[in-house]
Copies of this chain bind each other. A is one copy, B any other.
Amino acid sequence: MTGATSKAGPRVGSKPSVARERILATASRLFYAVGIRAVGVDRVIAESQVARMTFFRHFPTKDDLVVAFLARRVELAEAELAQLRADAGDDWPRALLGWVADGVTTARGTEGFRGCEFINTAAEFSDPSHPVRAIAARHRAWIRDQMQEALVALGHPAPALTAQHLLMLRTAAVVAASLEGFDDDEGTFARTWWSLIA
Contact = CB atoms under 8 A, between A and B. Distances in A.
B124 A119 contact: no
**Chain A: interface secondary structure?**
helix
Number of copies: 2
B126 A38 contact: yes
17 contacts: A34-B126, A35-B123, A35-B125, A37-B37, A37-B124, A38-B124, A123-B123, A136-B179, A137-B179, A137-B180, A161-B186, A164-B188, A165-B192, A167-B176, A168-B173, A168-B176, A175-B175
A37 B175 CA distance: 20
Interface centre among A122, A133, A186 (most CB of B within 10 A): A122
Interface string A24-67: 00000000011101100000000000000000000000000000
Contacts of A114: 126
Contact of A172 (B115, B141, B161, B172): B172
Size class of the A contact interface (CB-based, 8 Å): 35 or more
A123 B174 CA distance: 12
Interface string A140-164: 1100000000000000000001001
Interface string A167-198: 11101110110111000001010001000000
Given A35-B123, A137-B179, A140-B179, 10 more contacts: A35-B126, A37-B38, A38-B126, A119-B123, A119-B179, A122-B178, A164-B188, A168-B173, A168-B176, A171-B175
